[in-house]
Amino acid sequence: MALLMGRRIALVALLLLAALITLALLLRKEPPAIPKDTNHLGALHRLGLAGSEKACLDCHGPAGRSPRGPKHPLANDCSRCHSLREG
């Protein structure tokens, strides 16, 4: 009887964990896509995709005209999260 009760508790705990993971995946926000405007596409074209981080940080670095917000991760590998996907 105690073994059966323990299995039920483990099953409920496992189902709750699965539900929480599913909910977290469904609610996560995707990083915004790189806008397809002349500023962004021009910078990527001039520097090539290999230099895209420099192109981004020229404007979005701390001294740029449109710096990243305070909640933005400090990583400088922009293309890891941001892309030219439809957005």
Q: What is the pLDDT along the chain (87 residues), one digit of tens a residue?
A: 677 788 899 999 999 999 999 888 888 778 888 888 888 888 777 766 556 677 788 888 888 899 998 888 888 888 788 877 654
Whether residues 50 and 71 share a domain: the answer is yes
> CA-to-CA distance for 41 and 24, rounded, in angstroms?
33
Alpha helices of the chain — where are they, by DSSP H? 2-27, 38-47, 52-60
Find out whether 33 and 82 touch, Cβ atoms under 8 Å.
yes
Q: Are 24 and 50 found together in one domain?
A: no
Q: Which two tokens stand for residue 10?
A: 């483990």
pLDDT at 87: 44
The Cα–Cα gap between 23 and 26 comes to 5
User: Given this model, what pLDDT does residue 19 score?
Assistant: 93
| Number of domains comprising the chain | 2
The pLDDT score that the predictor gives to residue 6 is: 84
pLDDT at 40: 83
Instruction: Flag whether 54 is in a domain.
Output: yes
Which domain does 5 fall in, by range?
1-30
